[in-house]
Amino acid sequence: MSDNTPFIHEDPWRIFRIMAEFVDSFQTMSMVGPAVTIFGSARTKPEDKYYHAAHDIAKGLAKHKLAVITGGGPGIMEAANKGAEQGGGKSVGLNIELPHEQTGNRFANVPVHFHYFFSRKVCFVKYSFGFIFMPGGFGTLDEFFEVVTLVQTQRIPQFPLILFGREHWKGLLAWMKSEVQTRHGYISPGDLDLVQLVDEPQEAIDLILAYQRRVSPPELPAKAFR
């Protein structure tokens, strides 16, 4: 018979930490208002073209009274938080405790701290009505596939899902169309139409604003996760 003493002493109490993380983050995020999340690599350098693009997108969104949400760390996240702050808007950073890479950036004027990835992910989706995916690694891909799955399965509304940088994303999309859709039928024709490719910051901003006008007032986060 296995010894489940660690479970008895640790796991039930961990629930309270999880609950506290949700309560604290929901309380803060419920006051943010209409927001757009920008995902992307923590490793992107300030001289990178995608860093500048993320900054310009966030600044443009802020000037239209939209909050910008990021993971709160360096790279693309820093660029977007910086742009939102400079645009006079709410610059939200959902920072996660990690042993490497992730440190909070100083441009998030609404910082929220997380221990658990899953509670942080809930806040990204629950409090956004649009998502912009800049080039990134495993974390960005994880966030992209999770959000597109939620839209495809109609767990959340068909919010704008914008992939920035055709050169970066075209290989993945071509593989998904040829292998995942056409060869194996793992996704349906039309599923890839849920995402939009852009190359210019203003294109991304215009897509978000067009959606906002179309559903104004935007479908707010409380309607997610029905």
Decide if 163 contacts 197 (C-beta within 8 A): yes
Residue 50 lies in a domain: yes
Residue 224 lies in a domain: no
Block residue for tokens 């007032």: 217
Note the pLDDT tens digit of each residue in 104-130: 799 999 999 999 999 999 999 999 999
Residue 221 lies in a domain: no
Residue 182 lies in a domain: yes
Domain count, the chain: 1
Residue 83 lies in a domain: yes
Task: Let me know if 157 is exposed, middle or buried by CB neighbors in 10 A (0-12, 13-18, 19+).
Answer: middle
36-57 in b/e form (b: 16+ CB < 10 A) is bbbbbbbebeeebebbebbbbb
Q: What percent of the chain has pLDDT over 70?
A: 90
Note the pLDDT tens digit of each residue in 58-114: 999 999 999 999 999 999 999 999 999 999 999 999 998 777 655 779 999 999 999
pLDDT reported for residue 98: 75
Dihedral sign from CA coordinates of 77, 82, 87, 89: positive
Residue 222 lies in a domain: no
Residue 26 lies in a domain: yes
Domain of 24? 5-215
CATH code, domain carrying 170: 3.40.50.450
> Which stretch of 2-11, 53-62, 68-77, 196-205 has the lowest confidence by average pLDDT?
2-11
Residue 95 lies in a domain: yes
Q: Letter for the amino acid at 167?
A: E
